Structures are given as structure tokens and as C-alpha cells.
Amino acid sequence: MPTIAFHPGVPLAPTESPALPDKRGRAKELVAAVIPCFRVGDQILSVLKSVGDEVDLIYVVDDRCPMGSGELVQRENHDPRVRVIFHERNGGVGAATITGMRQALADRARIIVKLDGDGQMDARLLPLLIRPIQSGEADYAKGNRFYDLDGLAAMPRIRIFGNAVLSFFAKLSTGYWQSFDPTNGYFAIHAEAARRLPLHKLDRRYFFETDLLFRLNTLQARVADVPMPAIYGEETSNLRVARVMLPFALGHLRNFGKRILYNYFLRDFSIASIELVAGLALLAFGIGFGLSNWSSGRMATAGTVMLAGLPIILGMQLLLAFLAYDVHSAPTVSLHRRLSAEWPDRPQGKRES
């Protein structure tokens, strides 16, 4: 079983990948699975056994696991698809996923799937997850545990509330208003989208999935939600809600500002850009003018009230118009399909100049 010692900052070299034909003897698109491992020694072997034949390569990334998950896989697993990558120090779930994605890209995988090693993600759903990408419908497909309301009974109430709140803020910061359950780490991505991501800029820990969605929006990649049940067993979550609340809030605020700047002022300037600027200006003027007159203690005349109230009303209307534009601005054609149509003869694995 090949072993890779990962050194941060050093590009991963391609490993020997066999040419895998499909059932008709034609070369097939490689599907790779990335499994970050941290304190999953009790579940990782059963997870590996559950991965079906639709996956050609499996990267187990030992993120300095104190339970020795990587060594356990080396000893007990005999699946030839599995390759173990060791981190010299713990970097977080995002860092481990990025390491696996880099190796998958180096090995010329065309679809990369990420699932956790704790057994919360049903590997039998993997064909459904990669189907929107194989059909060209999406560049990125992720699980949505909120689609089936009956299945939410298995999810702890605090997680239901927390995910609902996070989903709303994620819609603002990522721009994918039709998507839900942004922290779901069960996802698949096309190599053309993954190759264009600034992997070195992505969050290394629990904000990774949401940060990834934000970066995909700046690429105008199309995202699809795939219904999946919530599975909770005896595994222990490493996520501490109180510890990540402030980083999540700051991350959403930062990404929202960047997304608006990138999409509405740097890469494009539309009527929505004017609505946003005018709406904020009118709202700020109305609120400022009203507060200044209210604090002066003078009796407000009808004209003063109108001068404060009308800009607030107009400003809110313009901001709502901008929001409606933003909601309906999600990409309708996948990025890898657009690139394929634009450069039909471009060799696979080559990046455009």
C-alpha cells in the first residue's frame, strides 16, 4: 500500500495510477475519494469497506491522528485502491481534505469525493453524489440532510437549530441561495473546478466547507444539493460550538464583503451594483438625519419626518431589489461544461493560459 509523507508547501507528485477501463473497454474518468482521519480509529476500516466500485482511488489522510488511524489502515486494510497520506502535524479537517484533493489532482482524477472517516456519511449514496457531476449538471454536489423532514428525527435538536442559522448566513456569504446545509462535508467536485480553486487560501478547519462554497461562487461554478439522511451513532464530534461561533461569524462577514466586491464591482458592474450603492447611501442618510434631529430635542416638522423617512423607505426598496437580483444570479450552466464547450480540444489536465 503506497504511503506518502506530506510536507506543507511542497507540491505532491503523481503516483502510479493504473489505466482503468470501463465495462466497454474505454478509458473511464477516475473517481477519487478523500477521507480525512482524526480520532476515527474505531470506524475507519468499516468506512473503507463500504466504499463501492465506482471509486477508483481512495486517499486516507492521517491528520496526526492520536489513535493512529493511518497505521491501522496500513496494517488491516488490503484494498489496492487505498493510499495513506500522513500529516507531520495536525492541520484540521480542511487541511487534510486539501492534501487529498491535491494528490487526486496530481493523479489525474476527474471527480473528487470527500467523506469523513467517522461513519456519519453513507458511502452507498456516493453514486448519487457524483451523478450530477457526471451528467454535467453541476461542478460541485453536496449532501443536504434537511431535504427529508422525517429523517431529521435522528439529528440532535441543537444541531438542527445551529445548521439552520448557519445556512442562512452561508447563503449571504456564498451566494448559493438555493443550497442548504452548508457545513455538510459529504461532497463531490469536478477536477476542472477544483484545479481553479485557490486551495492555499481555503480555511483549514471547520469553516472549510463554507469557505469552499464562497470560492466556488467566485468561479461561477454550479452547485447541486443531493438529499441524504443524517446518521448519528456512537462517534464523538470534535466540533465545539462555542469555540467556532466567533470564527464562523467573522468568516461569513469577510466572505460576504469579498463576494460583493468581486462579483458586483471588480468582475462586473450592473444595475444591481447601482441599487446596492444607492440603497446603502439613502439608508445611511435617512437614519443619520433622523437620529441627529431626534437627539437635538427639537420638535420635528412634517418635512423633517419625510426627509428622514423617505430615504429609509427608498433605500430599503433598493436593497431588497439588489437582494432579489443576487438570489437569482446563481450559475445555471456548470463551469466544466462551459470550459469544455469553449475549448473542446484542450487536453485534459492542462490549464488554460
Question: In this predicted model, what pLDDT tens digit does every residue of 127-166 receive, in sequence order?
Answer: 999 999 999 999 999 999 887 776 666 676 776 777 778 7
How far apart, in whole angstroms, are the C-alpha atoms of residue 46 and residue 122?
Answer: 11
Which pairing describes strands 140-144 and 223-227: parallel, antiparallel, or unpaired? parallel
**Alpha helices of 240-270 — where are they, by DSSP H?**
241-261
Please work out, in degrees rounded to the nearest 5, the angle formed at the alpha carbon of residue 157 by the alpha carbons of 154 and 161: 125
Q: How confident is the model at residue 12 (pLDDT cuts 50, 70, 90)?
A: low
Rounded to the nearest integer, the mean pLDDT of the chain is 85
Pull the grid cell for residue 88.
507531520
Q: Which residue has the higher pLDDT, 122 or 296?
A: 122
How far apart, in whole angstroms, are the C-alpha atoms of residue 269 and residue 67?
Answer: 52
Tell me the pLDDT tens digit for each residue of 28-54: 689 999 999 999 989 999 999 999 999
Structural contact between residues 100 and 119, judged by C-beta atoms closer than 8 angstroms? no
Buried b (16+ CB within 10 A) or exposed e, 101-126: bbbbbebebbbbbbbbbbbbbbbebb
Cell 461542478 maps to which residue? 139
Structural contact between residues 52 and 123, judged by C-beta atoms closer than 8 angstroms? yes
pLDDT above 90: residue 59: yes
**Quick one: pLDDT at residue 350?**
43
Annotation: CATH topology of 3-256: Spore Coat Polysaccharide Biosynthesis Protein SpsA; Chain A (3.90.550)
Q: How many residues does the chain have?
A: 353
Q: Which residue has the higher pLDDT, 114 or 149?
A: 114
pLDDT above 80: residue 20: no
Q: How confident is the model at residue 234 (pLDDT cuts 50, 70, 90)?
A: low
Tell me the pLDDT tens digit for each residue of 201-210: 999 988 999 9
Please work out, in degrees rounded to the nearest 5, the angle formed at the alpha carbon of residue 208 by the alpha carbons of 202 and 210: 105
Q: What's the order of all strands across the beta sheet hosting 57-62? A: 3-6, 82-87, 57-62, 31-37, 111-114, 187-190, 140-144, 223-227
How far apart, in whole angstroms, are the C-alpha atoms of residue 47 and residue 121?
Answer: 9
**Helix, strand, or coil here: 100?**
helix
Cell 457545513 maps to which residue? 183
How far apart, in whole angstroms, are the C-alpha atoms of residue 209 and residue 93?
Answer: 10
Cell 466500485 maps to which residue? 53
**Helix, strand, or coil here: 79?**
coil
Q: How much helix, strand and coil, in percent to the nearest 5, is found in the chain? A: 50, 10, 40
Q: What is the DSSP letter of 27?
A: B
Structural contact between residues 28 and 22, judged by C-beta atoms closer than 8 angstroms? yes
pTM: 0.83
Residue range 3-16: mean pLDDT, rounded: 49
How far apart, in whole angstroms, are the C-alpha atoms of residue 110 and residue 104?
Answer: 8
Strand partners, 83: 59
Domain range annotation of the chain: 3-256, 269-342
Among 62-71, 232-241, 295-304, the range scoring the smallest mean pLDDT is 232-241
